[in-house]
Amino acid sequence: MRDCKNSTLILLVLQIFYGICFTHLLINVKNQGGDILLETITSNITEDFIILEFQCSDGTLVTQLVDFKNEVQIIKAVVLGEEERGQNQFQTMCFVNHFYKMDFISTDAMSKLRQKNPGTIRVAEEDKGHTNYTLDFFLDVSHCNVISKHINTLCSETGVSTYTRYEDIKLWAQRPGSSEAALLQTVYNFTVAINDKISINNTKSNLVSKCADTSNLWAPCTCSLELCIGWYPCGLKFCKSKADVKKVANTYRCGIKTCKKCFIFSYYTKMKQNCLWDE
């Protein structure tokens, strides 16, 4: 089983891998059910990425990595199995999507955040609601550096299923030096054999029925997993100084704006047995 010690271990491994010092905050966050979760938020200015990690009250370990340089978000979920229903100890999925830089504060701003009262229980100021992601493709993690080198670092463990969408491929193709043809060489279609690369024109996959709609535990289906980031710094706050007759009011940074956001990922699984929560 994985616990908060694993969160610290992952951060230490990443520090060794990159050879660069990280700055991080520990945040106590109250979720919708009233439970208090410990979030670790780590920023790296040199590599321009942020890692947010926490363990849900049901034991699921969630890691969010935002790669600002490449406009990539990776959300990794380690879900504990229901042993009494024949599941393995845990299963791991990675969801890789395009990310807009304005949706999170910069690594530079993040590295400068400090807590006056570290024990304070935090609640997000704004609820960003739910965003649905229907994942079209498996990602070949060993060839994903053209998207982001962090995918291989975070999702290369044996047995990890890594997913993305054609919609995101098209957005990344707009980056300087990128091309849709090169990016499509990193993905597999759900409808073809797992070892066969898809053609450039075969960009649509026919997802099978929803796992919630079938009673056959061994049938392939489309699983849905909801993951919520209960608190994160989504922007900066700016205030105006008091103006007098002789001086014009100046704008200055006076804090951060905090948000909550939920993701619903729909993705292919070989059998409903891997998706028992979606019933």
How confident is the model over 26-61, as pLDDT tens digits?
A: 999 988 888 899 999 999 999 999 999 999 988 999
Confidence of residue 200 (pLDDT cuts 50, 70, 90): very low
Confidence of residue 131 (pLDDT cuts 50, 70, 90): very high
Distances from the Cα of 9 to the Cα of 2, 30, 152, 157, angstroms: 11, 24, 17, 15
Distance CA 185, CA 199 (A): 8
Confidence of residue 12 (pLDDT cuts 50, 70, 90): very low
Q: Which pLDDT score is estimated for 207?
A: 55
Q: Which residue has the higher pLDDT, 248 or 186?
A: 186
Distance CA 74, CA 68 (A): 11
Question: CB-based contacts of 199: which residues, under 8 Å, 6+ apart?
Answer: none
Q: Which residue has the higher pLDDT, 189 or 50?
A: 50
Q: Do 240 and 174 form a contact (C-beta atoms < 8 A)?
A: no
Distance CA 268, CA 219 (A): 11
Distances from the Cα of 101 to the Cα of 21, 96, 113, angstroms: 23, 15, 18
Give the pairing of strands 187-189 and 161-164. unpaired
Q: Do 189 and 139 form a contact (C-beta atoms < 8 A)?
A: no
Q: Which pLDDT score is estimated for 31?
A: 84
pTM score: 0.83
Q: What is the mean pLDDT of residues 153-161?
A: 86
Considering only the C-alpha atoms of the chain, give the largest distance between any 2 of them, rounded to a whole number of Å. Answer: 76
**Cα-trace Rg, the chain:** 20
Over the stretch 224-255, which tens digit does the pLDDT of each residue have? 999 999 999 998 888 877 766 666 677 877 78
Confidence of residue 85 (pLDDT cuts 50, 70, 90): low
Q: Which pLDDT score is estimated for 238?
A: 81
Q: Which residue has the higher pLDDT, 212 or 198?
A: 212
Please say if the pLDDT value at position 157 is more than 90: no
Considering the chain, what is the average pLDDT of its residues? 83
Q: Do 200 and 221 form a contact (C-beta atoms < 8 A)?
A: no
Q: What is the mean pLDDT of residues 206-235?
A: 89
Question: CB-based contacts of 124: which residues, under 8 Å, 6+ apart?
Answer: 230, 231, 232, 258, 259, 260
Q: Which pLDDT score is estimated for 233?
A: 92
Distance CA 42, CA 20 (A): 12
Q: Which pLDDT score is estimated for 174?
A: 95
Q: What is the mean pLDDT of residues 121-139?
A: 93
Confidence of residue 155 (pLDDT cuts 50, 70, 90): very high
Please say if the pLDDT value at position 197 is more than 60: no
> Which sequence spans correspond to the domains of the chain?
4-237+249-274
Q: Which pLDDT score is estimated for 222?
A: 93
Q: Which pLDDT score is estimated for 244?
A: 65
Confidence of residue 8 (pLDDT cuts 50, 70, 90): very low
> What percent of the chain clears pLDDT 70, i.e. is strictly above it?
81
Give the pairing of strands 126-134 and 251-269. parallel
Q: Which residue has the higher pLDDT, 165 or 114?
A: 165
